């Protein structure tokens, strides 16, 4: 039974020592992987890795946290982001390789703000980089992989992205690591998007994401891990990896009353359609 992890970062340092072993485990589990870049170097590495292995593809682009240098303190990592302006010609050259199936992850992130910038300044900088990547995805006919993270307790970044998508009308897109509610998810579906779900759904105690899983048509869901982050139960707190995508599929099957095989088959078809694989 084939699965498709549409969003992993095996190009990051967390996999430096055992990348080939992790890819081997992924291939043995019949999992196709999109290896996702976050800026120039990780995007190039994502493509380099994709070229080495069968059923591994690349997504290249500039993550919003790298549009402004800032302290990033995640559950699994702590670092100072390296500031980068979106270099259209550089990413275009990378993305013309047939192993590149998407542009991103790009979008908006208001979760933490640098001390020397206002929210409006952050929005302006991030929006410009996002618009450039929408343009590139359209020019090269690649899927758009959208990152969205809000200020705590708000849906601000989701609402801003919705407004941008209504104006720009990208042909193919997904909302990666969706964490808002069903009403917001439905708005993205109406624009033709796919909803990317990962290990968060297996440990979300609010019940909000369970409602998203329950209500979202299986034909519009794509699976992901976001490895090395957000490992699903039963690997919570450990390094995530692409073959753990099966636990996301199993949770969706449980909530939707479908068989594991049905979820694997349909979500893989969805991903192949979205990324033209």
Please give the domain boundaries of the chain with CATH numbers for all domains. 3-275 (3.20.20.140)
Crossing angle between the packed helical segments 182-190 and 156-168, to the nearest 10 degrees? 10
Helix axes 119-140, 156-168, angle to 10 degrees: 40
Are the C-beta atoms of residues 34 and 57 closer than 8 Å to each other? Answer: yes
Interval 70-124: pLDDT, tens? 655 555 454 456 789 999 999 999 999 999 999 999 999 999 888 888 989 999 9
pLDDT score for 77: 53
Tell me which DSSP letter residue 150 carries: P
Q: What's the pLDDT at 81?
A: 62
- Measuring CA to CA, how many Å separate 77 from each of 9, 72, 213, 230, 262? 13, 8, 28, 11, 35
- β-sheet bridge partners, residue 81: none
Average pLDDT along the chain: 94
Taking the whole predicted model, whether its pTM rises above 0.85 is answered as yes
CA separation for the pair 26, 112 (Å, rounded): 33
pLDDT tens-place string over residues 207-243: 999 999 999 999 999 999 999 999 999 999 999 999 9
């Amino acid at each position: 039974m084939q699965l498709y992890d549409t969003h992993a970062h095996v190009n990051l340092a967390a996999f430096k020592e055992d990348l080939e072993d992790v890819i081997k485990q992924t291939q043995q589990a019949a999992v196709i992987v999109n290896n996702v870049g976050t800026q120039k170097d990780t995007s190039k590495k994502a493509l380099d890795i994709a070229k080495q292995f069968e059923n591994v593809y690349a997504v290249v682009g500039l993550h919003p946290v790298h549009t402004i240098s800032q302290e990033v303190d995640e559950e699994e990592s702590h670092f100072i982001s390296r500031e980068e302006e979106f270099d259209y010609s550089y990413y275009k050259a990378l993305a013309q390789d047939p192993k590149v199936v998407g542009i991103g992850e790009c979008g908006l992130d208001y979760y933490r703000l640098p001390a020397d910038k206002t929210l409006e300044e952050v929005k302006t900088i991030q929006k410009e980089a996002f618009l450039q990547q929408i343009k590139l995805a359209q020019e090269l006919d690649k899927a758009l992989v959208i990152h969205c993270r809000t200020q705590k307790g708000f849906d601000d970044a989701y609402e801003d992205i919705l407004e941008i998508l209504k104006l720009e009308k990208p042909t193919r897109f997904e909302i990666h690591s969706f964490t808002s509610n069903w009403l917001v998810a439905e708005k993205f579906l109406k624009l033709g998007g796919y909803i990317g779900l990962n290990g968060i759904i297996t440990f979300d105690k609010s019940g909000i994401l369970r409602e998203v899983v329950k209500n979202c048509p299986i034909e519009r869901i794509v699976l992901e891990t976001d490895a090395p982050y957000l490992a699903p139960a039963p690997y919570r707190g450990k390094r995530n990896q692409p073959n753990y995508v099966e636990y996301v599929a199993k949770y969706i099957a449980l909530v939707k009353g479908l068989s594991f095989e049905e979820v694997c088959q349909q979500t893989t078809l969805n991903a192949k359609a979205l990324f033209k694989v």
